[in-house]
Structures are given as C-alpha cells and as structure tokens.
Amino acid sequence: MAISEQWLSSQVALHSISIVKFAELLWLLDARGVAYLPALDWLVVSDLHLEKGSYLRSYGNPLPSVDSVATLKRLQHIISDYNPARVISLGDSFHDKHSMSRMTAVDRNLLCDIIKSVPCWDWVEGNHDPDLPEGIPGNPCHEIVQNNVVFRHEPEMHGIELSTKGKVQIKQQVIGHYHPKIRKTISRRRFSGKCFVVTEDLFIMPAFGQFTGGLDVDEEVMLALASKRSRACYMLYDGTIFKA
C-alpha cells in the first residue's frame, strides 16, 4: 500500500472510508468520491466533467468559472494523500470536445501537473469525451481489464465469455456514467448525497465533478442495473460515508 496504516486508521476513525470486497479485491471507498485498491495501488475516479460550467454558461446559465479548478484541487489533494502508482479516470473526464479550448491556462497547467505527478494515468473514454484532447498527458483507452474485472465508462451488458471448460463467465465491471445519488431518512431527518453502488457484478462510481448532478438509485434505469435486493449503497454526506 502507498498509504500508511496510521493514515488509514485515522481516516476510518473519522468515518470517511468504507471497506468493501468486490471481484475478490478489497476496496477503500473514500467519502470524497474516489475508490482505492490497496492490492494494486490504483486510485479510481469518475465523471470529472471538466469545464461543464463554461459549457452551461455559453447557453446563458449564470455560473461562475470555478468548477474545473475546484474539481482539480480536490483531486490533487486526494492524490497527495494516497500517492498511487496509477490513476484511472473512468470516462466523462471532460464535459465536451471543446472543453480544453475554454479552460484557462492556469487550470490547464494544474491539470497537467496533477497527471505528471502519478507514474501512470489512464483516461477511459466516455460518452462526453470519446477522444482525449490534444496536449493532455496520459493514456487514452476504451477500457482496462485486470483479471476478471473490466474498468469502463458504461456497462457492457453482453460481456459474456466462454471459459476453457466451456462454462459461461461474466466479467465484473467497474463503471461511471450514472452519477448515482440516494436519499435516506434517519430519525425523521432527510439526507441526500452521491453514492457508490455495489452488486455482485457491478461497481458504480459516484460522479466527482463539481457541477455534476445525479440519478436516484430508485429510478427505473438504476433499478434495472442494481435492484434493491442485490445492491449495497454507500452514501457520501458532509465528509462521511456510510452504508445506506
């Protein structure tokens, strides 16, 4: 592990990390919206949607130009905590194909510095950013396969393969795209926040970007992917994470 046991213990004590098992790996779910795999020293983040604010502003929305720098600084701080060997950005990292032309030089330099601070940085393509903008470091790819786990932006619903023994196997998938959110009532108080959603075959990341919305886990689209009976949801709220 790149992080110390003392650091991990302090984070767990503050209830900012949940530990789950998926695809025979232990995952640290960080309340700041990232997942870390100690066995591989990988940090996974999804749906940065850089320059979404400037995109919406071009259509008349009165939004300040703060989303990209806020997103990048949060990510920079997390990376400095974990010091991972590899970062996987799981698609929709850039809100649209013109994002970089609208990004300030300061924010572009900050982005490049963050990428270069990590030995390996992978950009998984998303529906918003099928092509990596020119001049950005890192490795563009459609998906990443690690043993029986596939890291991609959207789920492959036909990911069935035949093993050497002729049995059908379905690869477990780590995805983004859906921006899952959940609502919970505790002691008559209602809470709402982004969340991780985990089933036996799917690990759905929360959106990390500053201006990203969300899709409720009880919406039809989400239930088709992860039914109430099959899923576990880990809600992010006010710097903490808990099973909802």
Domains of the chain, start order? 5-243 (3.60.21)
Condensed to tens digits (0 to 9), the pLDDT of residues 211-243 reads 777 899 999 999 999 999 999 999 999 889 999
Q: What is the pLDDT of residue 12?
A: 52
Q: How distant, in Å, are the alpha carbons of 13, 77, 105 from that of 47?
A: 28, 17, 22
Handedness of CA 189, 14, 41, 134 (dihedral sign): positive
Condensed to tens digits (0 to 9), the pLDDT of residues 151-198 reads 999 998 754 444 444 444 558 999 999 999 999 887 778 888 999 999
- Is the pLDDT at 70 greater than 50, yes or no? yes
Place of tokens 């921006």: 179
Q: What is the pLDDT of residue 145?
A: 94
- State the average pLDDT over residues 58-62: 60
| Residue in 207, 197, 205 with CA at minimum distance from that of residue 230 | 197
Q: Pinpoint the alpha helices (H) of 14-86.
A: 52-57, 67-82
Q: How many of the other CB atoms lie within 10 Å of CB of 38?
A: 17
Residue type, 196: F
Structure tokens at 204: 């759905």
**Cα-to-chain-centroid distance, residue 170:** 22
Residues of the chain with pLDDT > 70, as a percent, come to 83
What is the bridge-based pairing of β-strands 34-37 and 25-30?
Answer: antiparallel
- Is the pLDDT at 23 greater than 90, yes or no? yes
